[in-house]
Structure 1
Amino acid sequence: MPRAKRIRNLLKAAKGTLEIQHISPSSEHSIGNYVEPTPESEPERVGPKKGRQSSHYWSVEAIDEHGLRQNVKVKVKDALNMPSGLRVIVNYDDKYQPIGEASALLARVCGLLAANHIMFPISFERWSAMPDTYKDNMRESSLKTNEDLAKRDVLFKIGKLWREYRCKLWNEFYDPLVSRNELIKNVPESLNMEQWAAFVDYHLKPSTMDLCKKNRDIRKRQSIPYTGGAMSLSRRRDNLKIETGRNVGRAEL
């Protein structure tokens, strides 16, 4: 039997610290620090004016420890390894939803953290069962927040992405024709045996398999596919607000 395709761990260990700081009631937070601009020799695809400027980096505003602001170009893979003192500002709208290119950078960083097996083990059956110790360690070592609503938003994002990552991992490695022992032997790269064994046992439980079957049936009955693209509704609403000069309701989105 061919060995299942391995999923690469995008972030084996978070070495840097990415900070989120509340700036003002107009809702600004900050993440990360400075990253060297993209080399001139690297080809770029320039997007629309109100969209992403390049597909190779995120063009965002940063603030240093002295309060001086500057525009920087940040790549996701470098967001957690920036020098101390410079933070990328994430603007939030009146509904406390992140907007702008920095919000997309924050979402990608949350995805890296959610896929980190050391920071958030996949052996726990649900996100609510994840001990607060893991979440506190993440905030201390990789992503700092000093505002309760920002912390809540970030943890909600990471929890959602952690669940999605576990589903992707199981769909990639599960084979109904092989035994439990064979599934456990096929450990994904960079994941230890104990985590993987607990993960496999959880998914092979009859109650879990019944729940998965119900969820598949529900998805099959969905008649309206999502066609909104990768941009979040909060960013789309902000772009429409800039274009029209007025607040945009949910029906217009």
Structure 2
Amino acid sequence: MDFMDSETQPPDDSPHLETSFNAPPPLAPECKSFKWKIQVIDSEGSVEGKMVTSKDVWKLQSSKVIVHFDENSSQPIGDSGGLLGSWLGQLSNDVNLLPINYSDWRMVNIHTKRKAWDVIQSKFWFDDPTMRKGYVMSALGSRCKDVKLRLWKEHKRNDQLQTLQNRPNNVPEEQWEHFVHMRFTEKWKKMQERNTKNQKKHTMPHVCGRKSFSRKRNDITIRTGKTPCRAEFFIETRTKPDGSFVCEEAKTRAEALTTLLNQNSHGTSNVAATLDDEFAQVFGPERPGRVRCVGRGPTPSKLVRRCTATRQEVDNSEMVVALQTQVKELSNQVKGMSTFIQQIIGTSTGEQARAWAASFAVAFANIPNPPFANIPTPSNPNQEPFAAEVWISPQADLHSVAAWINQPRINADAHATPVIKPYFQSAIYLLWKERNVRVFTAVSSPSSVILASLDRMMRDRLLSYPASSSFSSSLLLFIFLV
């Protein structure tokens, strides 16, 4: 592709923003008096509601218009979105800032786009400028394309020479010469013929007028309380105020979409578009670069990532609620053990300490599995294989275990108290870990594995205890000698 000089070279320095962009460009059509209900923010961060026209935005000096975006599609919505689009249409007529002698907006030099973005940010406030820049600059490129098309329709003549002589007053001569030269090349003529042929295929126009799809979808969401899917949006935007459709083909497609909508319930997912929704079933798969009935911004690749996450959230919603309930129940049981710990940490023998750890494992093992863990709950908890392997005659519940441990103890040893504490911590950690594995993966470990882990963890922890003159032997030795 051949590029003009203006596409590859940086522009000349221009005056400061504050003095150069306080009025619409001369080429811009007359600003309409329609007032938008928006919010403005000043340099101190104060927000104020106002009714302004697009012409009023040019006069803003110490404040900016706040632009609101849809959280899911990242498209501007509401009156602020409409005002932004209208103002960008005026800015695109500034041929000194945005020359018309380029062949492809994507190839316009970065200096020109950076300057335009600075101008836009001097009038509008964005919550995340880096994220919003892509959409805004893409919309500006579309407006610039409209300007070039309008100038061509108004000033084109029978041949190249006559068109060159019919230059608009406010367009620099050099820009007009390059612009006309490109339009009279064979390459551009072939592209125009192709575009004209493609436009004839658009037989189902929408009734949104100048309102963008994102703003129209937001209006429907506010009115109905639900984000419309693409099928619902197509029907809405192809239906005239009198209830009739824009054409017979639109009516036929709408009937097919309605049938599929009645067969497939959306529930409360509020998903605007998916790659296999009702719209795709009727109109076919998407092509790269855009998603039909969604508007500027989203692409099929982005839609795949977003919809995958959305569907997972919808499918897992019931499981999430069940997991939260299970976690709450387990949390309450752990809280109830606080008094249980106080009963244990006293004067105990090493044998009782080991017995307590096994009893604690039994009590936890007998907690019924949640219904969604795909692990059958035994009819008789005392016959649980896990519990039986840990203790031949296990207690029935935590209260029985607490009563057993609280029995009068004989030959109490000073080593017992510091040993029981790490036993408790290690046991509750391993058992809680085992319960989580059972809940989330439906996989359980045998008791021998947990006991071996507990033994290994206790060896490591007791070895790390510093020597103390209060003990005649080490804590680790106490465990294996009593």
| TM-score of the pair, normalised by structure 1 | 0.73
Structure 1, residues 216-239: CA drift from partner, whole Å, max 9, x if none?
A: 122123322232222212112212
Question: What letter corresponds to residue 230 of structure 1 in structure 2?
Answer: R
Is the CA contact 1:57–1:75 (under 8 Å) kept in the aligned structure 2?
yes
Please state how far the C-alpha of 1:125 moved relative to its aligned partner: 1.3
Equivalent residue number for residue 175 of structure 1? 157
Question: Of the candidates 109, 115, 139, which is equivalent to residue 93 of structure 2?
Answer: 115
Question: Of the candidates 196, 205, 210, which is equivalent to residue 185 of structure 2?
Answer: 205
Measure the CA separation in 2 of the matches of 1:137 and 1:231: 27
1:55-70 to structure 2, matched below 5 A, reads 56-70=34-48
Measure the CA separation in 2 of the matches of 1:226 and 1:244: 20
1:90-239 to structure 2, matched below 5 A, reads 90-94=67-71, 95-144=73-122, 147-176=129-158, 179-239=159-219
Measure the CA separation in 1 of the matches of 2:200 and 2:221: 35
Measure the CA separation in 2 of the matches of 1:250 and 1:55: 33
Q: Which has the higher helix share?
A: 2
Q: Which has the higher strand share?
A: 1
Percent identical? 26
With over 3 angstroms needed to count, the CA separation of the structure-2 counterparts of 1:239 and 1:131, relative to structure 1, is same
Structure 1, residues 133-152: CA drift from partner, whole Å, max 9, x if none?
A: 01111223443566212111
Which deviates further from its counterpart, 101-110 or 68-77? 68-77
Q: Select the structure with the greater relative contact order (CA < 8 A; seq sep ≥ 6).
A: 1
Equivalent residue number for residue 250 of structure 1? 230
Which secondary structure state, in structure 2, belongs to the residue aligned with residue 60 of structure 1? strand
Which secondary structure state, in structure 1, belongs to the residue aligned with residue 68 of structure 2? strand
Which secondary structure state, in structure 1, belongs to the residue aligned with residue 67 of structure 2? strand
With over 3 angstroms needed to count, the CA separation of the structure-2 counterparts of 1:245 and 1:221, relative to structure 1, is closer
Measure the CA separation in 2 of the matches of 1:180 and 1:232: 36
Structure 1, residues 8-50: CA drift from partner, whole Å, max 9, x if none?
A: xxxxx95249xxxxxxxxxxxxxxxxxxxxxxxxxxxxxxxxx
Structure 1 unpaired stretches of 5+: 1-12, 18-53
Which secondary structure state, in structure 2, belongs to the residue aligned with residue 92 of structure 1? coil
Please state how far the C-alpha of 1:153 moved relative to its aligned partner: 1.2
Measure the CA separation in 2 of the matches of 1:141 and 1:88: 13
With over 3 angstroms needed to count, the CA separation of the structure-2 counterparts of 1:215 and 1:141, relative to structure 1, is closer
Equivalent residue number for residue 34 of structure 1? none
Question: What letter corresponds to residue 70 of structure 1 in structure 2?
Answer: E
Is the CA contact 1:14–1:141 (under 8 Å) kept in the aligned structure 2?
no
Which secondary structure state, in structure 1, belongs to the residue aligned with residue 216 of structure 2? helix
Question: What letter corresponds to residue 180 of structure 2 in structure 1?
Answer: V
Structure 1, residues 75-109: CA drift from partner, whole Å, max 9, x if none?
A: 1122122121x222111112111111010000011
Please state how far the C-alpha of 1:67 moved relative to its aligned partner: 2.5
Question: What letter corresponds to residue 211 of structure 2 in structure 1?
Answer: M
Please state how far the C-alpha of 1:240 moved relative to its aligned partner: 1.7
Alignment RMSD, CA only? 2.1
Is the CA contact 2:117–2:137 (under 8 Å) kept in the aligned structure 1?
no
Which deviates further from its counterpart, 225-234 or 209-218? 225-234
Structure 2 unpaired stretches of 5+: 1-18, 24-31, 234-482
Question: What letter corresponds to residue 149 of structure 1 in structure 2?
Answer: M
1:31-110 to structure 2, matched below 5 A, reads 56-84=34-62, 86-94=63-71, 95-110=73-88
Which deviates further from its counterpart, 223-232 or 196-205? 223-232
